[in-house]
Amino acid sequence: MIESPPLVPTGVTQQVAERVHVIPDQRVEFVPNAGIVVGDRATLVIDTAMGRRNGERIREEARRLGGERKLLLTTTHFHPEHAFGVQAFGEATYVCNAAQARELADKGAEYIEMFSGFGPGLAELLAGVELVAPDITFSGPSAELDLGGIVAQLLEVGPAHTRGDQVVFLPAEKVLFAGDLVEDRFLPIFPDADAIGPRWLEVLDQLQKLGPAIVVGGHGEVGDQGLIEALRDYLTTVRDRVGALHAEGLALEEIEQRLEPELSERQTGWDNQMWIKSAIGSFYAALSG
């Protein structure tokens, strides 16, 4: 149970490239890595964190770095700790892919309830949250934001972690904001049936082909393509082991019993161990179509 509200840290913002900043999550559960990109004309914020209070912290940091430039906001996916702080960005223009906006409309209320059940700390952050629809949406595969001297590409890549996954790539700086499609030493989360293991592997290939030098995952330390490779390695193992046991005729429950301890040992030191089962279930469902 999360007893006190997980808050975006202050005074720790790191610069990862010229004009590109990250407020690191410091491995606080339910806090994301947030991005701030400062162009000549506009400042782009990537992900809001959960609730108005956290959103305000990120908006204040964006104003500290970008001054009075026009404020643009985007989110990598609709999950509460990434997108349920939009209401703190009143003056910003909020842009994201249409699939993500539809997923928020479909599941937003349900996710407020689900996350509020994870403890009083989250319930406090989520009380009074208003789900804000984007001002502008685009329909895949990409949209480009020219911030002045720096360009950000919004790429629709879902479904993988969610139906509406969107990443942000800065092609000149080779910086990728991957949302929860890539995380540093956190096991990937498959929270509902729209998280699809085989698709997730395809998306990791797609992200690698962008050739990022710096990868900012949804959670955990900023890294390079090694973060993508480590996750691909894990998901490939899950796929192959589930496939082998499925071919032997084992039922899902037996596969879970066999694989959960095996995968847990393999991923020693990674957090989110309770989500191993969800990855097994997703690859199993894909086989049983």
* Footprint of Zn ion (CB under 5 A): 79, 180
Q: Least distance to Zn ion from the beta carbon of 55, Å?
A: 17
C-beta closer to Zn ion: residue 79 or 107: 79
3-class DSSP state for residue 77? coil
Q: Least distance to Zn ion from the beta carbon of 158, Å?
A: 11
Contact 178, 225 (CB under 8 A): no
Q: Least distance to Zn ion from the beta carbon of 203, Å?
A: 14
C-beta closer to Zn ion: residue 180 or 256: 180
Q: Report CA dihedral (99, 100, 105, 109) to the nearest 10 degrees.
A: 150
Q: Least distance to Zn ion from the beta carbon of 180, Å?
A: 4
Q: Least distance to Zn ion from the beta carbon of 113, Å?
A: 17
Q: In terms of residues, how long is the chain?
A: 289
3-class DSSP state for residue 166? strand
Helices 225-247 and 197-209: angle between axes, nearest 10 degrees: 150
The secondary structure of 104-161 as a DSSP string is HHHHHHHHHHHHHTT-HHHHHHHTT------SEEE-SSEEEEE-SS-EEEEEE--SSS
Q: Least distance to Zn ion from the beta carbon of 122, Å?
A: 14
Which residues are within 8 A (CB) of 231 and not within 5 positions of it... i.e. 6 or more apart? 182, 183, 188, 204
Q: Which two tokens stand for residue 187?
A: 């096991």
C-beta closer to Zn ion: residue 61 or 183: 183
C-beta closer to Zn ion: residue 25 or 180: 180
Residues 62-93 as b or e (16 or more Cβ within 10 Å = b): beebbeebebbbbbbbbbbbbbbbbbbbeebb
Q: Least distance to Zn ion from the beta carbon of 161, Å?
A: 6
Cis preceding linkage at 141, omega within 30: yes
Which residues are within 8 A (CB) of 130 and not within 5 positions of it... i.e. 6 or more apart? 87
